[in-house]
Structure 1
Amino acid sequence: MIDLNTAAEQIWLETQADCPNISIEVLPETDSTNTQLLARGRAGDTAPMLLAAHRQTAGRGRHGRHWVAQAGDSLTFSLGLALDLDLVPGGGSALSLAVGLAIAEALDDGLAGLQGPTPAPTITLKWPNDLWWQQRKLGGILIEATPAPGVLPGQRWVVIGVGINLRPQGDQATGLAHACLQDLSATPLTAGQVWAWTAPKLLRAVHRFALAGFAPLQAAYARRDALAGQDVALWQGAGGQGNALLRGAPTDTGRADGVDQQGALLVHTGTGLQRWTTGDVSVRLAASSAPSPTLPPA
């Protein structure tokens, strides 16, 4: 708790110029930081806020997955603010890519600062909402939106949840310290440290995205795109059925060809170039048939 509270003070000082009315809170334990902020927005508490939890007991991810975030094993936090995503090309689908890019850049910058002249290994992005290192899951993003009293016409209360492994989680997921730091004994990595790296950059990135959309970020995303040029399997309509559908045969297969200016995934299939948005499909590398370990963010 001391670690996260210290980080909260640092984040507050760094974000005042961009968002002077932001509130920052740390909870010793909660079910889900996303759930907490969604409830606050529905109750009319819609000033921008950051919420982190020392321990999270019912984190949520895509397809209704759940997990427990043990203290010290991961960083879990959420950002809530009012946005009019209908005015932004790509809307919420593209926002998840912009968030992933901001978090990846912040982590690389933070790790490079710890490692001195040796650059940190580049963290990649698996469309639409996973952070990867060497094709292993490092973190995840969950974006949810709800109507809320007190927001401007057209706006919704948007909650952006982020989960980052500090230690490995299962056979196919990695941890930030173990994967990316060369000398763990010399540089212990804490949740507060990583929160201080990522939260200010995330807030600035969301504000820029609301003004300019995803198009200015397309080239930077392409440099971290873990799927581009890879053979992939696609499951259409997986949202409500979760892993039950993903254990079956894929709806389609093809070769990923990056993302467009609205953040949609482009895949060359047997029937031509297909365009997918986050609500339409789940995607995996074709060589990996087993469900990936879950790291719901919030």
Structure 2
Amino acid sequence: MIDLNTAAEQIWLDTQADCPNISIEVLPETDSTNTQLLARGRAGDTAPMLLAAHRQTAGRGRHGRQWVAQAGDSLTFSLGLPLDLDQVPGGGSALSLAVGLAIAQALDTGLASLPGPARQPITLKWPNDLWCQQRKLGGILIEATPAPGLTAGQRWVVIGVGVNLRPQGDPAKGLDHACLQELGTAPLTAGQVWGWIAPPLLRAVQRFALTGFAPLQAAYAQRDALAGQDVALWRAVSGNALLRGAPTDTGRADGVDQQGALLVHTVAGLQRWTTGDVSVRLAASAPPPTPPLA
């Protein structure tokens, strides 16, 4: 707690020029920082806010997946602010890509300030995962809700971030999860990493609202973990894509377009997939088909 509270004070100083009315709060424990900020927005508390938790008991990932953060294992925080995503040039659906890029760049900058050999850049798995050596280092969950007191078109947008700091307690998770400690650094604290990420994240979201994703396309391409890879795709049904059974489609990923849509060459031609439409995995790591019922 002391570590996160100390970081909060520095983050507040570092963000005053960009967002003088931001508030920053640290909770010892909560179910989910996203859930907490969504509730505050619906209650009319819509000033920009950063909320971090020392321990998170019911964090949520994409498609309802759970992210439980034990104290010290992960950094978990959320940023809430009013945005009119419909007015973003090119569309607001690429916000998760802009967020992921900002976090990856901030982590690389922070890690570069530490002693030790040069490290491979952190990569991005479309649409909302941070990757290290083709394993998940962190994730992003963006949710939006109407809220009282906002101007026409605005919604209360909550950006949840989780980053693994050290190996997970469950050995099975270690097979597909990475952590910052594996990069040869001395143990990093949640406050230290939060201080790296939060100010550039806020600035990146503010820029995205004005310019959209197109100016970020080239920088994203340099970190795109799926580009040129064979992938399997599962189409979402009612907002949920379950990664089991035969995939909806397969093909070779060909980067993202100026609106942040995933481009995949399939037998039917070039397909364009947007966030929320599909879940995607490298074909080599796709689960085996579900056997037929007897």
Coarse TM-score class (shorter-chain normalised) = over 0.9
CA spacing shift, 1:105–1:87, aligned 2, 3 Å:
same
Structure 1: where are the runs of 5+ without partners? 292-298
- Partners of 1:241 and 1:143 lie apart in 2 by 15
| CA distance in structure 2 between the partners assigned to 1:239 and 1:65 by the alignment | 15
- The answer to whether structure 1 residue 232 and structure 2 residue 231 are counterparts is yes
CA 1:157–1:196: 2 relative to 1, 3 Å: same
Q: Where does residue 267 of structure 1 map in the other structure?
A: 264
Displacement of 1:90: 5.0
- Confirm whether residue 75 of structure 1 aligns to residue 72 of structure 2: no
Q: Distance in 1 between matches of 2:56 and 2:249?
A: 36
2:247 matched to 1:247?
no
Alpha-carbon distance, 1:32 to partner: 0.1
Q: Which amino acid aligns with 2:176?
A: Q
CA distance in 2, matches of 1:284, 1:238: 17
Counterpart in the other structure of 1:129: 128
Give the C-alpha shift of residue 66 in structure 1.
Answer: 1.4
Structure with higher RCO (Cα < 8 A, 6+ apart): 1
Aligned-partner residue type, residue 199 of structure 2: P
Task: Specify the SS of the correspondent of 2:285.
Answer: coil
Q: Secondary structure at the match of 1:115?
A: coil
Question: Equivalent residue of 2:150, what SS?
Answer: coil
Report 1:173-188 matches (<5 A): 173-178=177-182, 180=183, 182=184, 184=185, 187-188=186-187
What is the TM-score normalised by the length of structure 2? 0.93
Instruction: Tell me which of 274, 285, 290 is aligned to 2:287.
Output: 290
CA deviation digits over 1:139-166, x for unaligned, max 9?
Answer: 0000000000011110000000000000
Q: Residues 29 and 6 (structure 1 numbering): CA distance in 2 closer, same or farther, change over 3 Å? A: same
Which residue in 2 is equivalent to 1:119? 118
- Aligned: 1:38 with 2:38: yes
Q: Which amino acid aligns with 1:156?
A: R
The answer as to whether partners of 1:239 and 1:279 remain within 8 angstroms in 2 is no
Q: Output the CA distance in 2 between the equivalents of 1:90 and 1:232.
A: 26
> C-alpha distance in 1, partners of 2:40/2:210?
25
SS of 1:114's equivalent? coil
In structure 2, what residue type is equivalent to 1:20? Answer: P
Shift of 1:101: 0.1
Q: 1:289 to 1:238 in 2, by over 3 A?
A: farther
The alpha-carbon deviation at position 131 of structure 1 amounts to: 0.2
2:148 paired residue number: 149
Q: 1:67, CA displacement in angstroms?
A: 2.8
Cα distance per residue 1:95-114 (max 9 Å; x no partner): 00000000000000000001
SS of corresponding position for 1:219: helix
Return 5+ residue gaps in structure 2 as ranges.
289-294
Amino acid at match of 1:269: T
Query: Which secondary structure state, in structure 1, belongs to the residue aligned with residue 210 of structure 2?
Result: helix
Contact 2:244 / 2:287 at 8 angstroms: preserved in 1?
Answer: yes
Q: Percent identity among equivalent residues?
A: 84
Q: Return structure 1 stretches of 4+ with deviation > 3 angstroms.
A: 89-92, 238-242
Evaluate the alpha carbon distance shift between residue 96 and residue 15 of structure 1 in structure 2; reply closer, same or farther with a 3 A threshold.
same
Give the counterpart letter for 1:10 in structure 2: Q
| Mapped partners of 1:96, 1:241: distance in 2 | 17
Report SS of the residue matched to 1:24. Answer: strand
- Normalised by the length of structure 1, the TM-score is 0.92
The answer to whether the Cα contact below 8 Å between 2:90 and 2:214 also exists between their aligned partners in 1 is no
Equivalent pair of 1:100/1:130 in contact (CA under 8 Å): yes
**Which residue identity lines up with residue 245 of structure 2 in the other structure?**
G
Code of the aligned partner of 1:119? A
- How far is 1:239 from its partner? 6.0
Cα pair 2:89 2:210 within 8 Å, conserved:
no
Letter in 1 for 2:253: A
* CA–CA separation in structure 1 for the residues paired with 2:231 and 2:260: 17
Residues 225 and 212 (structure 1), Cα distance of their counterparts in 2 relative to 1, 3 Å cut: same
Query: Aligned partners of 1:167 and 1:98: how far apart in 2?
Result: 25
* In structure 2, C-alpha distance between the alignment counterparts of 1:70 and 1:198, rounded to whole Å: 20
Instruction: Name the CA distance, whole Å, in 1 between partners of 2:238 and 2:77.
Output: 23
Question: Which whole-Å CA distance do the structure 1 matches of 2:284 and 2:187 have between them?
Answer: 34
Native 8 Å contact 2:245 2:287 kept in 1: no
